Amino acid sequence: MHKKDQRLFKKLLITALAKKPDSFGLVPDENGWIKLKELVKAISQEQRFKHVTAKVIEQFVLLLEKEDFELDSQSKKIRVSYKLRKNLKFSYEISIPPPILFTAIRPKAYHYILTNGFISKENPIVFSRSKELALKRGKWIHNNPLLVTIKAYEAANNGSVFYKVGEEIFLSHYIAPEYIHIEGSVPKISVKDQEKYKPDKTYEIKAPKAETMGSFFMSPDFNFENKKKSSKFKKDKKHKKDPDWKRIRRQKRRR
């Protein structure tokens, strides 16, 4: 890589990792780390650096730019150095979303999403303001992703919680099917696979509740437990007798 390209590449990495990660479709964690494989997918969509690999980034950092970047080789993550991120904020607060947001999915997820909506108990789903950014992220997972339009404001008014990342990205753990529209032709499925896309009535799915403002990826209050199992547990706990040693100690105190 020539010196001019090195300077441009460094500038691009700093922008993607710290200054405007949302414009690349990237979401740093609370400590500023970004998965190396996601960074590669974002950077390789830039025409000048479309052949960049994880190995190229690692070598670039280790050989030339140790002072400005940090690598976690075990977890395969990267971030800018402390001096570059000390004034940056990587915690995301609850925010009112715009009327419409976008994301993209694999064609094979079409029927499942229309049936069950977006549900993610751990890593939130990433939505963007623009179709272009949504399709760019969609290219990370499929050559021909399907564009999904979300009635975000309506979903927020009915229980979905959104977190804002920069100016371009919003995150959410749960979007009900009625707020989802998927563009493109309907993929065909076999009779055998149709059972996979029926709603699971065994579980009750609740919209997430926001408990703490300003924390990163707050855990939604999903009830994925079977109601019968839950009530049985409470019943057993209520009627459970005290152990013998407790009963004997109580009798001694009364004497």
pLDDT of residue 48: 84
pLDDT of residue 194: 53
pLDDT of residue 91: 85
Domains of the chain (ranges; CATH) run 3-85 (1.10.10.970), 100-197 (3.20.170.30)
Q: What is the enclosing helix (H) or strand (E) of 85?
A: helix 82-85
Across 36-184, the runs of DSSP E, i.e. the strands, are 69-72, 77-80, 100-105, 118-119, 125-128, 146-151, 163-165, 169-172, 174-175, 180-182
pLDDT of residue 244: 64
- Amino acid identity at 168: E
**pLDDT of the chain, 255 residues: tens digit per residue:** 677 888 899 999 999 999 999 999 999 999 999 999 999 999 998 888 888 999 999 999 888 888 899 999 888 999 999 999 988 888 899 999 999 999 999 998 998 999 999 998 888 999 999 999 999 999 999 999 999 999 999 999 999 999 999 999 999 999 999 999 998 777 666 555 555 555 554 434 444 444 433 334 443 343 433 333 444 444 444 444 566 656 666 665 665
- Amino acid identity at 164: K
Give backbone dihedrals phi and psi of 147, rounded to 5 degrees, phi first: -80, 135
pLDDT of residue 190: 58
pLDDT of residue 213: 34
| pTM confidence score | 0.73
pLDDT tens per residue across span 136-174? 999 999 999 999 999 999 999 999 999 999 999 999 999
pLDDT of residue 254: 60
pLDDT of residue 232: 44
Instruction: Report DSSP state, residue 144.
Output: S
pLDDT of residue 193: 57
